[in-house]
């Protein structure tokens, strides 16, 4: 049981990075980026490529992040320059990445046991905790900068961003690149953690990310102390612990994808009903403008 | 001074839904004055402001603001010179950010945005002063998210945000239309105070004849993209305007 908890926390921390990536697109920019399921294995395959070429594991992991940002660049250019709907743009990137991933190493499954990993250097849990906290702090600081605030405002009200003399498209590109970089990094870490890379490892990860964010939003709903990134991290860990318990109770690991979908459905349904009730009460008082386009409602 | 020269605009050009809004439209707007534009629905008021702000492009014509031709500047570039308040109180603010964050963003309007911290402590006193002048108590809500403000509070904030960098031109498109009569009055009074204080060339669209006369220096009535009345506000009465409306309506029926 104890090792189950530790494993869940370790995996939760890896997915926390994914969740923070998804947070930037889905929640802050208000763009549903579906390329995630291609970007996650993309990061893993990039890592496998470099490590098998003899590159140092730390650098290989870093390169997964850097090259991963290109997936975000592709999606954003598809919808900004070619005016393809963001949803479709993400799907097109994901589909393209499927072929790209298979090309990178010419194989769909690569064992990594013979190679070094960043986990050889420092205990897994410690390393992951440091990494996740560092990313959280960097993101939190970034969202306090002028550029960071414009990114938030882009998701909120593009008209305002333009009226400030800034290009909202630029901030969408920055956000999508950052998001996809983090997701690829998460994939590279997962590859090292499980000891192999597989083409199917991205299946369902978008739902895991969304589930993490939604669970995170539900903890101490009204507390303003808990920031978005902290919520995503806690959400990912809780999600993995729920999954660990489910397996312990006898569910097959393959059942977990359905479990995560059910978690998302339940939480969104709960939030929607709660928010609609709230809005209808407030609307009686004054003309409150309620944006109903969010994939995940901002719950504060 | 703002000069609009030979402005033409058609929507859905070349289709059977083609609408001609302006055909060789000309207008000069005096500096530091408030010009009210009135006229029936669909006569082209918002289209005119959209063209001025650059959010839609004209088919032809020139826009000259303080001797500079801004016709070919993008909306983002023009925003340096132009402030705008919309009918929808949510359009001028970022609802999920706080009042302080919104004002700090507006304070950077037209500047380069960098990786420096947005919120600067030494600006806060200045923001508080501006908010105090509204008399709505917003200075005590600096850290409240704007989505929790009432429409009138949000619109007053939008107004300050649009005006705080002293734009050369301020565009108000029915900015009190979504507010109840009392709040609408408050926001109009605040608008007047702000314009008197900062001396900004302003174009204000309104469907409220009383407000249009009371709060402007000059009244222009549009009908189907043409100027049908152009008068100093102090020489204009509400009855006069309503009579013209009725006469136009009669023309259309007859
Ligand atoms: N984006 C658009 N596409 C097509 N037609 C448009 C568009 N915007 C405005 N129009 C048309 O142009 C004409 C002028 O519209 P505009 O919004 O400028 O009117 P308005 O004077 O602001 O009216 P209101 O008082 O109702 O706000 C209308 O016939 C309208 O249908
Ligand atoms: Mg209009």
What's the burial of B72, exposed, middle or buried (CB within 10 Å: 0-12/13-18/19+)? Answer: exposed
Q: Is the CB of B47 under 6 A from ligand 1?
A: yes
Enumerate chain B positions whose Cβ falls within 8 A of a Cβ in A.
Answer: 55, 75-77, 79-80, 83-84, 86, 88-97, 101, 104-106, 108-111, 113-119, 145, 150-151, 162, 178
B58 pLDDT higher than 60: yes
Dist CA A273 CA A251 (whole Å): 30
Non-local CB neighbours of B80 within 8 Å, separated by 6+ positions:
A165, B109, B110, B167
Closest CA to A160 of B192, B97, B44, B198: B97
Phi, psi of A17 (to 5 degrees): -65, -40
Contact in structure between B76 and A167 (CB atoms under 8 Å): yes
| Separation CA A112–CA A51 (nearest Å) | 9
The DSSP call for residue A106 is S
Residues in chain A: 300
pLDDT tens, N- to C-terminus, chain A (300 residues)? 578 889 999 999 999 999 999 999 999 999 999 999 999 999 999 999 999 999 999 999 999 999 999 999 999 999 999 999 999 999 999 999 999 999 999 999 999 999 999 999 889 999 999 999 999 999 999 999 999 999 999 999 999 999 999 999 999 999 999 999 999 999 999 999 999 999 999 998 999 999 999 889 888 777 777 899 999 999 999 999 988 888 888 888 888 888 888 878 887 787 777 666 655 555 544 433 333 334 443 333
Say what percent of chain B tops pLDDT 90. 83
Contact criterion met (CB below 8 Å) for B33 and B201: yes
Which residues share a beta bridge with B202?
Answer: B34, B170
Nearest-neighbour CA in chain B from A163: distance (Å) = 5
Number of C-alpha atoms within 13 angstroms, CB side, residue B157? 37
Residue A156: list chain B partners with CB under 8 A.
Answer: 94-97
> What is the whole-number distance in angstroms between the Cα of residue B48 and the centre of ligand 1?
9
Closest residue on chain B to A287 (Cα): B151
Where exactly are the structural domains of chain A? Answer: 2-255
Sheet with B60-65, edge to edge strand ranges: B19-29, B2-11, B60-65, B68-69
Q: Is residue B122 pLDDT above 70, yes or no?
A: yes
Q: What is the pLDDT of residue B131?
A: 94
Our CA-based measurement puts residue B30 at a distance from the nearest CA of chain A, in whole angstroms, of 23
Average pLDDT over residues B23-50: 94
Structure tokens at A242: 């729920």
Task: Tell whether ligand 1 has an atom less than 6 A from the beta carbon of residue B41.
Answer: yes
> Would the CB atoms of A156 and B80 count as touching at under 8 Å?
no
**ipTM, interface predicted TM-score of the complex:** 0.90
Q: Can you name the CATH fold of B2-253?
A: Rossmann fold (3.40.50)
Please work out, in degrees rounded to the nearest 5, the angle formed at the alpha carbon of residue A119 by the alpha carbons of A115 and A125.
155
Partner B contacted by A289 (CB < 8 A): yes
Tell me which chain B residue has its CA closest to the CA of residue A169: B76
Distance B232 CA to ligand 1 centre (A): 26
Residue B12 token pair:
């859905």
Among the partner-chain residues A159, A165, A288, the one whose CB lies closest to the CB of B109 is: A165
Tokens of B64: 């000259």
Asked if the Cβ–Cβ distance from A286 to B151 is below 8 Å, we say yes
Query: Rounded to an integer, what distance in angstroms lies between the CA atom of residue B114 and that of residue B123?
Result: 17
Cα–Cα distance measured from residue B160 to residue B79, given in angstroms and rounded to the nearest whole number: 15
Between CA B111 and CA A250 the distance in angstroms is: 59
- Reduced to 3 states, what is the DSSP secondary structure of residue A81? coil
Q: Which CATH number applies to A2-255: 1.10.260, 2.60.40, 1.10.3470, 3.20.20?
A: 1.10.3470
- Would you say A193 and A43 are in contact if contact means Cβ atoms under 8 Å apart? no
The bound ligand whose nearest atom lies closest to the alpha carbon of B51 is 1
What's the average model confidence in pLDDT over B87-102? 95
Query: How far apart are the C-alpha atoms of A298 and B46, rounded to whole Å?
Result: 32
Vertex B170: Cα angle to A30 and B79 (nearest 5): 50
Q: What is the rounded CA–CA span in Å between residue A229 and residue A20?
A: 6
Q: Which of chain B's residues have a Cβ under 8 Å away from the Cβ of A149?
A: 97, 101, 104-105, 118
Q: How many other CB atoms are found less than 10 A from the CB of residue B195?
A: 23
Cβ within 8 Å of residue A134, ≥6 positions away: none
> Do residue A166 and residue B150 have CB atoms under 8 angstroms apart?
no
| Closest ligand 1 atom, residue B39 Cα | 21
- B44 in ligand 1 pocket by Cβ < 6 Å? yes
Q: How far is the CA of B9 from the centre of ligand 1 (A)?
A: 11
Take atom 16 of ligand 1 and give the residue whose Cα is closest.
B44
Question: Over the stretch B125-164, which tens digit does the pLDDT of each residue have?
Answer: 999 999 998 888 999 999 999 999 999 999 999 999 999 9
Q: Who's near A54: CB < 8 A, 6+ residues apart?
A: none
Closest CA to B61 of B203, B224, B225: B225
A184 — phi, psi (to 5°)? -65, -40
Q: Are B173 and B38 in contact (CB under 8 A)?
A: no
Contacts of residue B77, Cβ cutoff 8 Å, sequence gap at least 6: A165, B54, B70
Determine whether the shortest distance from the Cβ of B221 to ligand 1 is under 6 A: no
Considering only CA atoms, which of B47, B59, B63, B144 is closest in space to residue B99? B144
3-state SS assignment for residue A300: coil
What span, in angstroms and rounded, lies between the C-alpha atoms of B253 and B162?
41
Kindly give the pairing relationship between strand B60-65 and strand B226-232: unpaired
Residue A288 and residue B151: Cβ atoms within 8 Å?
yes
d(CA A10, CA A260): 18
């Amino acid at each position: 049981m104890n090792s189950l908890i530790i494993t869940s926390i370790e995996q939760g921390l890896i997915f926390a990075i994914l969740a923070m990536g998804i947070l930037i697109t889905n929640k802050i920019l208000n763009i549903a980026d579906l390329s995630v399921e291609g970007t996650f294995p993309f990061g893993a395959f990039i890592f496998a490529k470099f490590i098998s070429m003899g590159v140092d594991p730390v650098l290989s992991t870093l390169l997964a992040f850097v090259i991963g940002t290109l997936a975000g660049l592709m999606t954003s250019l598809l919808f900004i320059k070619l005016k393809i709907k963001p949803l479709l743009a993400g799907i097109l990137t994901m589909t393209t990445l499927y072929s790209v991933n298979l090309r990178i190493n010419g194989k769909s499954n690569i064992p990594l046991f013979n190679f070094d990993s960043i986990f050889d250097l420092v205990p897994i849990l410690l390393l992951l905790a440091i990494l996740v906290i560092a990313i959280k702090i960097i993101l939190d600081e970034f969202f306090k900068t002028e550029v960071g605030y414009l990114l938030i405002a882009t998701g909120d009200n593009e008209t305002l961003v333009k009226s400030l003399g800034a290009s909202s498209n630029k901030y969408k590109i920055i956000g999508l690149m950052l998001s996809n970089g983090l997701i690829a990094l998460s994939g590279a870490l997962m590859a090292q953690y499980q000891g192999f890379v597989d083409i199917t490892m991205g299946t369902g990860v978008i739902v895991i990310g969304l589930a993490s964010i939604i669970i995170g939003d539900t903890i101490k709903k009204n507390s303003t102390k808990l920031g978005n990134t902290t919520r995503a991290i806690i959400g990912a860990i809780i999600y993995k612990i729920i999954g660990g318990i489910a397996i312990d109770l006898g569910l097959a690991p393959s059942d977990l994808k359905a479990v995560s979908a059910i978690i998302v459905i339940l939480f969104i349904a709960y939030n929607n009903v709660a928010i609609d009730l709230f809005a209808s009460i407030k609307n009686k008082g004054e003309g409150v403008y309620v944006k109903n386009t969010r994939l995940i409602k901002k719950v504060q | 001074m703002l000069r609009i020269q030979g402005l033409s605009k058609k929507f859905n050009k070349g289709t059977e839904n083609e609408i001609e809004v302006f055909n060789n439209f000309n207008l000069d707007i005096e500096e530091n004055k408030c010009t009210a534009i009135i006229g029936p629905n669909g006569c082209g008021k918002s289209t005119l402001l959209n063209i001025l702000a650059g959010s839609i492009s004209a088919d032809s014509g020139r826009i000259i603001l303080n001797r500079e031709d801004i016709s070919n500047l993008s909306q983002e570039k023009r925003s340096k010179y132009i402030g705008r308040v919309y009918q929808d109180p949510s359009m001028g603010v970022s609802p999920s950010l706080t009042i302080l964050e919104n004002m700090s963003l507006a304070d950077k309007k037209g500047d380069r945005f960098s990786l420096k911290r947005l919120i600067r402590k030494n600006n806060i006193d200045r923001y508080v002063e501006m908010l105090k002048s509204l008399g709505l108590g917003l200075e005590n809500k600096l850290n409240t998210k704007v989505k929790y403000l009432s429409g009138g509070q949000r619109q007053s904030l939008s107004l300050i945000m649009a005006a705080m960098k002293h734009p050369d031109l301020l565009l108000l498109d029915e900015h009190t239309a979504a507010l109840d009569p009392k709040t609408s009055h408050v926001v109009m009074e605040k608008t007047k105070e702000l314009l008197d204080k900062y001396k900004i060339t302003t174009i204000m669209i309104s469907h409220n004849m009383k407000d249009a006369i009371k709060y402007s220096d000059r009244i222009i009535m549009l009908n189907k993209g043409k100027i049908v009345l152009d008068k100093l506000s102090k020489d204009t009465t509400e009855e006069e305007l309503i009579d013209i409306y009725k006469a136009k309506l009669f023309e259309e029926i007859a």
